[in-house]
Chains A and B, each alone.
Chain A
Amino acid sequence: MRDYTYPSIIFAYVFFAILAGLAVFFFARTLRQGYWGKDSEDVKFKMLEDDDTDRRLP
């Protein structure tokens, strides 16, 4: 039986590296998009206002 240990470990670590890279990329984007700035708390008030959309057909 062929030993797939190293290919599978390489696969797992490369997959992990891709995800870690994406995490770093998106984290950097949150810095640019103001999630850590002075207006970053607005969204928590906005989420309480969706009652008007909260109706449906009987």
Chain B
Amino acid sequence: MQDQISRAEAIGAAPGAIIHEDTAAKWFLVSSVAYFFIVGIIALLIAAKFVWPDLMGTISWLSYGRLRPLHVNGMLFGWLLAADMGLAFYVIPRLCGVKLWSEKLGMATAALWNIIVLGAVVCLLAGFNQGWEYGELPFFLDVLVVVAWILFGLNVFMTVAQRKYQAMYVTIWYTMGCILWTAFVYLTGNFATLFTTGTNQANLNWMYVHNAVGLIFTPIGLALAYYFIPRAANTPLHSHKLSMVGFWSLAFVYVWTGAHHMIHGPISQWLQTIAIAFSVMLLIPVWAVVYNLFATMKGQWHQLRESVPLKFLMSGVVFYLLTCFQGPMHSLRTVSAIVSKTDWIPGHAHMAVLGAFSFFAIAGTYFVVPKLWNKALHSQSLANWSYWMLMIGGIGFYVTLWLGGFWQGWQWNTWTIPFIDTVVALKPIWIVRFVSGVMMFTGIVMFAYNVMATALGTHEESAA
């Protein structure tokens, strides 16, 4: 009489409980973790090329100019945004108390996203590149990104529209904000730039680059942190009202800051000043978020000893605070005169995208994968090791490029030093960068293996 047993009874859920299929979330997460590993290899090759510039000789598709855009786009869109989308498909239906609006549409979105990422790999390695920072993808892939984003946004907004609970938790606010802001930022950075030239094009491009981090990865990253920190610690958020202060101040402040990458460049002084003023104002949403998440952990810090997701989450919050202190300081004219265009910039960008937002995504993945596949995590010990590898390697990377960038900038500002001497002088910095990269890649391998072994393995069923 197996057929007469309801699905809810079969899995031990309470009668009337919602059964989440989560297929779309699984597809996104598995592919994003695979890309994290693959693009990690590219990252390692790039770091090695800084130390051994002749590595791989003159093979055009393995040259720095081809690999670097692949690394940037692969990490941003192949790993991080895909992982964030998968986690959003897990989180949003649960916060709304309903199933995902369309699981099939979510799976179609995941399939399209994989086509985009694989297309990017082929095009960028082959040299089909629009030549704009973060906007390297060829036009037809840009169009596909817009289509995929509309499908993703439609699914999330329709799920929210049919929610069971009227009041929306801050994670839903940030996720919806991310969807709308991404539309604005991506269209401006990849389409409006087609119709401009020279300085105006550069200005629009930098607005896109900065807001790709600030209005795409920041809101979706914070959405996940606001969900997973209370859930992993099993303790309520310190203040929902304060989280709304952070959300709305981000909404009104962030979009103006992109021009701080053009300080001392050929743009209007008033635009530079506005960018500086709004960059400093960013401290408001940042401190609102960081205080809220730290206060949530009050009396709960002991849980970090046992919980790998919490380790990643709270380290991510610290890196978020640090990188968002670097950003406003970088925007100041005096600081920018030293660090602009130096190694300081990738150090800062990596602390944001890897140290903060990737840590949130890794934590979320570790948290949800055992629940999605209804199995215990393959290895807690390996998860712990992956944290320490990414943490120690990351600190080595960020600190080295931060200090190395200052050193590089001071050399560039000393006109008597020939440029090539500044390149040679940076070699010790790049050796530490490579060693740190090896550690980080080891952490990525451990994370990816652990997730895949959990998903594909035959480990015992989770008690959760």
Q: Mark B1-25, 1 if CB is under 8 A from A, else 0.
A: 0000001001111100111111000
Q: Is the CB of B236 within 8 A of A48?
A: yes
Residues of B within 8 A of A41 (CB): 239-241
A44 with B20: in contact, given A15-B184, A50-B97, A54-B94 (CB under 8 Å)?
no
Residues in A with CB closer than 8 Å to B192 are 8, 11-12
- A27–B236 contact, CB under 8 A? no
Q: Is the CB of A56 within 8 A of B11?
A: yes
Instruction: Note all chain B residues with C-beta closer than 8 A to A23.
Output: 248, 251-252
Which among A7, A16, A43, A56 is the interface contact of B168 at CB below 8 angstroms?
A: A43
Of A22, A30, A57, which contacts B11 at CB under 8 A?
Answer: A57
Q: Is B240 within 8 A of A54, CB to CB?
A: no
Which among A3, A40, A42, A56 has the greatest number of chain B C-beta atoms within 10 A? Answer: A56
A46: Cβ under 8 A from any B Cβ: yes
Contacts of B252 in A (CB 8 A): 20, 23
Interchain CB contact under 8 A, B200 and A55? no
Interface 1/0 per residue, A1-43 and B, CB below 8 Å: 1011101110110011001101100010010011110001111
Q: Which of B77-85, B115-123, B226-234 contacts A (4 or more CB under 8 A)?
A: B226-234
Chain B 89-101 interface 0/1 with A at a Cβ cutoff of 8 Å (1 = within): 0000011010000
Is the CB of B307 closer than 8 A to any CB of chain A? no
Q: Is the CB of A48 within 8 A of B241?
A: no
Whole-angstrom distance from the CB of B171 to the nearest CB of chain A? 8
Which residue in A11, A12, A27, A42 is a CB contact (below 8 Å) of B167?
A: A42
With contacts A54-B371, A55-B11, A56-B374 taken as known, whether A35 is within 8 angstroms of B244 at the C-beta atoms is yes
- Known contacts being A47-B227, A53-B18, is A58 close to B200, with CB within 8 Å? no
B244: contacting residue among A1, A5, A30, A58, CB under 8 A: A30
Q: How far is the CA of A41 from the CA of B166 in the complex (A)?
A: 13
Q: Is B424 an interface residue (CB 8 A)?
A: no
Complex Cα–Cα for A27 and B248 (A): 7
Find out whether the CB atom of A55 lies under 8 angstroms from the CB atom of B13. Answer: yes
Residues 209-242 (chain B) with a chain A CB within 8 angstroms:
227, 230-231, 234, 236-237, 239-241
Residues in B with CB closer than 8 Å to A3 are 197
Query: Do A53 and B169 contact each other (CB < 8 Å), given the known contacts A4-B195, A12-B188, A40-B240?
Result: no
| Contact pick for A44, options B18, B180, B237, B464, CB 8 Å | B237
B167, A7: Cβ atoms closer than 8 Å = no
Contact call B195/A44, Cβ cutoff below 8 A: no
Asked if residues B14 and A56 are in contact (CB atoms below 8 Å), the reply is: no
Q: A48-B230, A56-B20, A58-B374 are in contact. Are A19 and B184 (CB under 8 A)?
A: yes
Q: Are B21 and A56 interface neighbours, CB within 8 A?
A: yes
Known: A44-B169, A57-B19. A8 touches B95 (CB 8 A): no
Q: B255 interface residue, CB < 8 Å from A?
A: yes
- Bound-state CA distance A50–B167 (Å) is 15
- Chain B residues closer than 8 Å to A15, beta-carbon distance: 184, 187-188
Residue B165 at the chain A interface, CB threshold 8 Å: yes
Q: List 13 A-B contacts (CB under 8 A).
A: A12-B188, A20-B252, A23-B251, A23-B252, A40-B167, A43-B167, A44-B240, A46-B167, A47-B95, A52-B17, A54-B371, A55-B374, A58-B461
What are the 6 tightest A-B residue pairs by CB atom distance, in nearest-first order? A4-B195, A55-B13, A44-B237, A53-B18, A43-B167, A50-B94
Known: A48-B234, A56-B19. 12 other contacts (CB 8 A): A4-B196, A5-B200, A11-B195, A15-B184, A19-B181, A20-B252, A33-B167, A52-B13, A53-B20, A56-B21, A56-B372, A58-B10
